[in-house]
Chain A
Amino acid sequence: NAGVTQTPKFQVLKTGQSMTLQCAQDMNHNSMYWYRQDPGMGLRLIYYSASEGTTDKGEVPNGYNVSRLNKREFSLRLESAAPSQTSVYFCASRRDRGSGYGYTFGSGTRLTVV
């Protein structure tokens, strides 16, 4: 039972480079999320997808794009990386909207932009 799998675990990019962070869940969850965690700031929502085929902006969407490829996969793309995007990125999924629990998080991708 893998849960939420994120790849890669670590990445170093040069300013201006692009990359895609991958996320897949095997729990048949409807909703998927991308968060970033910066020191002293907790986790902030970048984008989310309430169901296959839909995506919505969160608190800090600038500089990112997302694709809900199918029910299992939700990718996050940085088109032109900036040092301000150095962070730890977490993907999460949830079965039902409105649930007070059931969020499962991946182990994170540590991204450094130099």
Chain B
Amino acid sequence: DQQVKQNSPSLSVQEGRISILNCDYTNSMFDYFLWYKKYPAEGPTFLISISSIKDKNEDGRFTVFLNKSAKHLSLHIVPSQPGDSAVYFCAASDRRALTFGSGTRLQVQP
């Protein structure tokens, strides 16, 4: 049973518009949620995280929103740039290790 789910395998947006990537989780014991970005033939790189006691965290063009009651988080990228094209993984931490979603491939069209 997947504890972290990303239901959209792919997303395509125009340059300059907003990209919204979604993630759902089932385990209430997760204490942090993280987003990683991955290019082909490279390891995942950390993008942004949020504590389970917060509902929003912002870092430049990237904002993560957490809705604990719905067990849902989202990553907003504004404005989207062609260099943002990559696979984005949602991950959740339970102090032991990270549990990953299956990823969403974002394509930003120039």
Report A's interface with B, CB cutoff 8 A: 4, 33, 35, 40-45, 48, 50, 56, 58, 90, 92, 97-101, 103-108
Contacts and interface: CB of A to CB of B under 8 A. Distances in A.
Contact of A108 (B4, B43, B97): B43
Given A42-B102, A44-B100, A45-B99, A100 B93 contact: yes
A99 to B, nearest CB: 8
Interface of B: 4, 6, 9, 31-34, 41-46, 49-51, 89, 93, 95-103
Given A98-B31, A100-B49, A101-B34, A33 B41 contact: no
A98 B93 CA distance: 8
B43 to A, nearest CB: 3
Contacts of A58: 97
B22 to A, nearest CB: 15
A98 B32 CA distance: 9
Given A41-B102, A43-B89, A100-B32, 20 more contacts: A33-B98, A42-B102, A43-B98, A43-B100, A48-B96, A56-B96, A58-B97, A92-B43, A92-B98, A97-B95, A97-B96, A98-B31, A99-B93, A100-B93, A103-B34, A103-B46, A103-B98, A105-B44, A105-B45, A108-B42
Nearest to A4: B43
Contacts of A56: 96
Name the residue in B31, B89, B96 with the highest tally of chain A Cβ atoms < 10 Å from its Cβ. B96
Given A98-B31, A100-B49, A105-B44, A42 B101 contact: yes
